[in-house]
A and B are shown apart, each in its own frame.
Chain A
Amino acid sequence: MIASTKLAKAQRAMQAGKEYGSANSEIFQHAPPETPSKRKLFVVVSSDKGLCGGIHSSVSKATRRALAGSDQADPASPVMVIGDKSKGQLSRVLGQNMTMSFNQIGRDIPTFADAAGVADLIVKSGVEYDSVSIVYNKFVSAISYEPTTVEVTNEKLLKESPGFRAYEMEDDFAKDLAEFALANAIYAALVEAHACEQSARRNAMDNASNNAKDMINKLTLQYNRGRQASITNELVDIITGASAL
């Protein structure tokens, strides 16, 4: 089976990574922002390599839908892309919104160092945002995935939320927590998207192999029929020729 050991490894990493993601999002469930965030930064998670079916286009389409539906987000929201394939697709349509792009992620299982690097660059880039929407492919099963969004609020909204204010503490921690939570969320999204991509690649290659096999069989039958027909014609010619002598 093509790529099934890679898929198993990716799925194991995904299970572990999802724990980080769910623990991370618990904070935001208990401390939801009072006012819905106005300025969203979209981070699109895909990868550099192709031959994986509709993975990159599904994420790109979901981002375009989110930006087109103006009730959800401002059409001029900044967009950051991880992965060259989606970068190519989105730069044609949303080129004006693109602020930064990342690549060289996804060759192997994504590490937390990758996610921390991305989160670091986002925070240092100086782009203004109230919350970050991470668009990635959610692993539904070994043969299906769907694009989803995960939101991470920034330190200002976190500090102002009533759930957070119930605790008295120095202000510094909200900034650290917001940055670390962003890295965690990106990590969870990266590993899940990687697992989706491996399974999609395996399915796409299986389908391609099966289609090619079917085509070979059909064409072989056609070839043999044609060959036998021409032999029969030649025999008929010879026989009629012989009988005429």
Chain B
Amino acid sequence: MSSATWRNVFTYNKYAQITERAVRQSLKETERVAAEKRGVTALRYQKWENGVGGAQVYLNPEEDKGLGKPAV
């Protein structure tokens, strides 16, 4: 197996999340609905400099319009 080049692009957590999404989407319908809920995140973050917060950024930009879109 050639050495994985994805490590240059994103972290292991992102890699795991991509594989999670693939597994969830391949489940049977009823299990899939339950599993999709576990992949939902509406995380927002902001960077701080010198005691002043920057702009709040959505981690997954589709989140701010709708709800329940899975991560990645």
A179 touches B12 (CB 8 A): yes
A179 touches B45 (CB 8 A): no
Choose among A112, A121, A179 the residue that contacts B59 (Cβ–Cβ < 8 A): A121
B48 touches A113 (CB 8 A): no
Choose among B7, B37, B42, B59 the residue that contacts A172 (Cβ–Cβ < 8 A): B7
B46 touches A116 (CB 8 A): no
Q: Give the Cβ gap from A60 to chain B, nearest Cβ, in Å.
A: 16
What 0/1 readout, one digit per residue, does chain B (16-52) give for beta carbons within 8 Å of chain A?
1100100000000000000001111111111110111
A175 touches B12 (CB 8 A): yes
Interface SS majority for chain A: helix
Residues of B within 8 A of A179 (CB): 11-13
Residues of B within 8 A of A124 (CB): 11
Alpha-carbon gap, A103 to B58, bound state (A)? 10
Choose among A95, A125, A176 the residue that contacts B12 (Cβ–Cβ < 8 A): A176
A113 touches B53 (CB 8 A): no
A102 proximal to B (CB < 8 A): yes
B12 touches A91 (CB 8 A): no
B45 touches A121 (CB 8 A): yes
Residues of A within 8 A of B59 (CB): 117, 121
Residues of B within 8 A of A112 (CB): 20, 38-39
B43 touches A118 (CB 8 A): yes
Q: Identify the interface centre among B12, B16, B40: most chain A CB within 10 Å of its CB.
A: B12
How many chain B residues touch the partner (CB < 8 A)? 30
Q: Give the Cβ gap from B23 to chain A, nearest Cβ, in Å.
A: 13
Q: Identify the interface centre among B13, B47, B50: most chain A CB within 10 Å of its CB.
A: B13
* Given A112-B38, A113-B40, A183-B13; A102-B45 close (CB under 8 Å): yes
Residues of B within 8 A of A161 (CB): none
Q: Give the Cβ gap from B17 to chain A, nearest Cβ, in Å.
A: 6
Which A residue's beta carbon lies closest to that of B50? A96
Q: Give the Cβ gap from B14 to chain A, nearest Cβ, in Å.
A: 6
B48 touches A123 (CB 8 A): no
Alpha-carbon gap, A63 to B49, bound state (A)? 19
Alpha-carbon gap, A175 to B15, bound state (A)? 13
Which B residue's beta carbon lies closest to that of A125? B47
Which A residue's beta carbon lies closest to that of B43? A117
Q: Give the Cβ gap from B64 to chain A, nearest Cβ, in Å.
A: 10
Choose among A91, A95, A113, A172 the residue that contacts B41 (Cβ–Cβ < 8 A): A113
A34 proximal to B (CB < 8 A): no
Residues of B within 8 A of A100 (CB): 45-48
Q: Which residues of A contact B (CB under 8 A)?
A: 91, 95-96, 98-105, 107, 111-114, 116-121, 123-125, 172, 175-176, 179-180, 183
Q: Which residues of B contact A (CB under 8 A)?
A: 4, 7, 10-14, 16-17, 20, 37-48, 50-53, 56, 59, 70-71
